[in-house]
Structure 1
Amino acid sequence: MGSERVALVTGAAGGLGQEFCVALAERGYRVAGLDVADLTETGERAGGSFLGIQADVTDRTAVAAAVEAVIGHHGHLHIVVNNAGIYPAMPFEETTIEDWRRVMRLNLEGPFIVTQAALPHLRAAGWGRVVNIVSAVVFLGPPDMVAYTTSKAGLVGFTRALAGAVGEDGITVNAIAPGLTSTATAARTVGADGGFERVRDLQVIPRVEAPGDLVSTLAYVCDEGSGFLTGQTINVDGGSAMH
């Protein structure tokens, strides 16, 4: 059934987004990836009918055009994976209003814009999956990530409320909460100062999380058989937070 479904993944040029594109393509989904960065590598890995679109998720006009490009290329749209985001660590007292707005705009407003643009097509198909990538920080509340934690907690609220708004349309809305995952972006952000090791030591599974650790959960929430699962946040962080 996967070959009949079309998925759009944001933040698809690298990291988790790229892995999600590849994993969905391998499972037979037709995949489109959206990012401000070059998507050549993702396209090479995902292969097949992958469509890469360079666009900013915070730009309503660009997102609307991107969604129409997906429809033009693939004919339909059924799955939206809101993965694009930033996670700067900074002391609360040193967080400027510009820092705060930048995090909120990309991490919270971006999913709103992308989902709102895609929703008419999911409704027209009579079947859909919206998957929001949040973070285990919503359960842990690290003191140096107040803006990021707030943005992801907002996305959890978005997940729950939107699930209630679209349930009658055959559309589910769920969130996946990774822990600190070993990607090139994370390595640049936290790897140099031992962040991976500190997080690993908080887990009950004593190894660093890899992108592949999230793939089975993504496949689960997108699956045909998961139509009764909605409004949920699934925590996949090696047991740092249990709730």
Structure 2
Amino acid sequence: MARLAVVSGGGTGIGRATAGMLAGEGYDVIIVGRRAEKLAEAVKWIGPQASAVTADLVEPDQVEAVVAAVDGRPVDVLVNNAGAFIGGDESTLAARAARWRATLDSNVITAVLLTEALRPLLRRPGGHVILTSSIAAQRGGGGAYSAAKAALHGWMLDLAVQFGPEGITANVISPGYITDSEFFDGRMTEGGHRQRVDSTLVGRAGVPDDIAEAVRWLVGPGGSFVTGQVINVNGGTVLGR
């Protein structure tokens, strides 16, 4: 039986590229997201090894639909990629609280619930848990989004300690500026794009495949001795931390 990977936020951008890479490596892939139409498009693009579960991972009962789709199989790779920058009014304390809670739900609680639901099914030894963070967690500038992504770093350290004796790795991948995704929908200007490219050392924006290649390394033989780490994939925009 083929190895199994579960990728949240798998319908677009980094999640779709990662799921496609894993399918190319011979994995069966379950992609998870809230929008059935985007998932259907991604499954068609990835190929016959992919299937989809439409679920809002903030809701515990919907997380159970992913567990049902796994159907008792060992999970070799879990990529917690679901998340978003959530804009909104912060002119009152109530509005600020609502935006922060929504941001934490989208970027942290989704990962916590999915990981805990699949924890008993992670392959022992040999499983891999990956959390998708952001350069914003390391340099700030994103308010609630920066704080939420930074929370994943601390939680990942706990996971690495818990999972290590069972032969499971846990790591964070922290992307820099990535184009060809929905993250900046309607928010990116030509000047903003140029500034972000100029802030790299390599003179280009990242693309989803850059992150998928980091996942390929972490879940392959070369990454078997890597756990408890934040892997920066940012073109040198932020150095060494």
TM-score (norm 1): 0.90
1:126 alignment partner AA: P
1:81 is matched with 79
CA contact (8 A) 2:80 2:111 kept: yes
Post-superposition Cα deviations, 1:18-45, rounded to whole Å, max 9, x if no partner, equal 1111111111111000000121111011
User: Are 1:135 and 2:134 matched, yes or no?
Assistant: yes
Deviation at 1:153, TM superposition (A): 0.5
**Partners of 1:6 and 1:76 within 8 A in 2:** yes
1:192 aligns with 2:189: yes
1:56–1:63 Cα contact (<8 Å) kept:
yes
The answer as to whether partners of 1:12 and 1:42 remain within 8 angstroms in 2 is yes
Q: What is the aligned counterpart of 2:210 among 213, 216, 237?
A: 213
Q: Which moved more, 1:187-196 or 1:56-65?
A: 187-196
Task: Write the letter of the residue equivalent to 2:58.
Answer: T
8 Å CA contact 1:221–1:229 kept in 2: the answer is: yes
Q: 1:187 & 1:62 partners in 2: Cα distance?
A: 27
Gaps of 5+ in 1: none
Query: Which secondary structure state, in structure 2, belongs to the residue aligned with residue 53 of structure 1?
Result: strand
Instruction: Tell me the secondary structure at the aligned position of residue 105 of structure 2.
Output: helix
Deviations 1:180-203 (Å, cap 9, x if unpaired)?
A: 210241341432363322211111
Mapped to 2, the partners of 1:194 and 1:109 lie a distance apart of 34
Distance 1:104 1:126 in 2: 31
Output the aligned Cα RMSD. Answer: 1.9
Q: Which AA in structure 2 matches 1:229? A: V
The percent of aligned pairs where both chains have the same amino acid is 30
Q: For 2:84 and 2:32, how far apart are their aligned partners in 1?
A: 15
| 1:1-243 to 2 correspondences below 5 Å | 4-38=2-36, 39-71=39-71, 75-88=73-86, 96-122=96-122, 125-142=124-141, 145-192=142-189, 194-243=191-240
Runs (4+) of structure 1 moved beyond 3 Å?
88-95
The answer to which structure has the higher helix fraction is 1
Q: Does the CA contact (< 8 Å) of 2:17 and 2:208 recur in 1?
A: yes
SS of the residue corresponding to residue 6 of structure 2 reads strand
Paired positions, count? 236
- Letter of the 2:16 counterpart: Q
Deviations 1:94-128 (A, max 9, x none): 761100000001101110000001110015x4331
Please identify, of 220-229 and 99-108, the stretch whose mean Cα deviation from structure 2 is larger: 220-229
Change in 2 beyond 3 A, CA 1:176/1:9: same
Residues 61-116 of structure 1 show CA distances to partners (whole Å, capped at 9, x for unaligned) of 111221221226xx331211000001135797676110000000110111000000
Separation of aligned partners in 1, 2:190 and 2:145: 19
- The verdict on how the C-alpha distance between 1:189 and 1:233 changes in structure 2, with shifts beyond 3 A counting, is farther
Q: Distance in 2 between matches of 1:190 and 1:79?
A: 32
Counterpart amino acid of residue 143 in structure 2: V
CA distance in 2, matches of 1:189, 1:107: 20
| 1:114-173 deviation line (CA, Å, top 9, x unaligned) | 0001110015x433100000011122111xx11000001000111111100111111000
Q: Give, in angstroms, the shift of residue 11 of structure 1.
A: 0.5
The residue matched to 2:226 in structure 1 has which SS?
coil
